[in-house]
Amino acid sequence: MHFKRLLNRFETEFVNVSFSTNYMKKIGVFTSGGDAPGMNACVRAVVRGAIYNGLEVVGIQYGYEGMIEGRFVDLQARSVSNIIQRGGTILRTARSEQFRTPEGRARAAGNLKDADIDGLVAIGGDGTFQGATRLAEEHNVAIIGVPGTIDNDLFGTDYTIGYDTAVNTAVEAIDKIRDTAASHDRLFYVEVMGRDSGFIALDVGITSGSEHIAVPETQTNISELEEALAGSKRHKSSAIIIVAEGEESGGALSLAERIKDAAGYDYRICVLGHIQRGGTPTARDRLLASRLGVAAVDALLEGQSGVMVGEIHGKISFTPLKETWTKRKSIDKDLWRLASILST
C-alpha cells in the first residue's frame, strides 16, 4: 500500500510537470501603475502557483520600464516568504514613457525572448492592461492580467485587489476626523481617491455615516446640497461630506468653494491622499490576491492570453483585456439609494 501511494504521487507530479513544460517553462510577473495593498500577496501566489506546476518564475522589477531595461530577477518559493502581509510591491512599480512607443515595446519583447520567458502575469489597472494588450497584439506575447488597483473601476470583476484595504483605511481616518468635527462643531469635506469612479467614496460614505457623498458618476446639485446642510445644521452640530477626487467640481477644495457659507458651519478640508494606497492588506484582499494569482498561472497553462482573471459572484471569471477599460463598471444603484436614506 505504501509503494502504491508513492507510485500514485509520482504519476500525479509527473503528469503535472509534463503538462506545464509542454506549453511553458518560464513565466514572468510584474506590477505596474499605482501600487495597491495585496499586490505582494498576488506576486506570492503567482510564484508559488507556478513552481507547484513545474515552472520557473522571473520577477520583472519596475513594471514596463524594467521590462525595457531587462531588470529581471529569478524568484523561488522562499523569495516570496513573509510578504503576504506587506503593502506596496516588492517588485516596485513605475510609469514608462518608453513603453508607449512601438520601439519601447519591441525592446521589451526582445528582452522577454532573450530571457526565455514564455508568458506574463501583469498585475495592475487599466493602464497596465492597455500596455499588455499592445504587447500581446504586436509581439504575440501570452499575457494574463490580474486587477490590482484601489479604485475598483475595472469591468469584469466585482472587486479589485487593494480596494477593500483602501476603504477600511479611509473609514478609519474618517472616524478620527468625526471626533474632532464633533468637538469643534465643524463640517469636514473629506476627499478620497477615485479620479474616474466613486466606488471608494460611496462605500466610505455609507460606512462612515457621512451626510453627503459626491462622486464623478453623478452631478452634484449645489443648491440641494446647501439646503441639506441647512437642514442638518438644525439638528446636527457637525457633518462629514465625502468627495471623490474626480467629482466634477474638481475635488473637495473646489466643492467647498462652490458652497458659499456652508449653512453657517465652520468647515475644514481634509485630503486623505496616498495613505489609501499603503498599509497592511486586509484578509479579504489577501484572499482575493491569492486566489487570482494562482488562477492567472492556471490560465497561462491552459493556453489563455489577453484576458483578465477576476471574481464575479464568488467565481473565477475571465474578461478580454480590452473590455476591462472600454466597458463601464457602474456603481451600485441600491447602495446609492441606501446612502440617501441613511444620510437623513
In SS3 terms, 185-211 reads as CEEEEEEECCCCCCHHHHHHHHHCCCC
151 is catalytic: yes
**Contact of 281 with 165, CB cutoff 8 Å:** yes
How far apart CA 255 and CA 250 sit, in angstroms, is 7
Q: What is the CA radius of gyration of the chain?
A: 23
Map residue 120 onto helix, strand or coil.
Answer: strand
Instruction: Compute φ and ψ for 245, nearest 5 degrees.
Output: -60, -25
CA distances from 325 to 129, 147, 289 (A): 8, 11, 20
- Point out the catalytic residue in the list 35, 126, 151, 153: 151
How far apart CA 292 and CA 158 sit, in angstroms, is 12
CA distances from 73 to 62, 256, 304 (A): 11, 48, 24
**Contact of 317 with 311, CB cutoff 8 Å:** yes
Q: Inter-axis angle of helices 2-23 and 283-301, to 10 degrees?
A: 80
Query: Catalytic residue numbers?
Result: 151
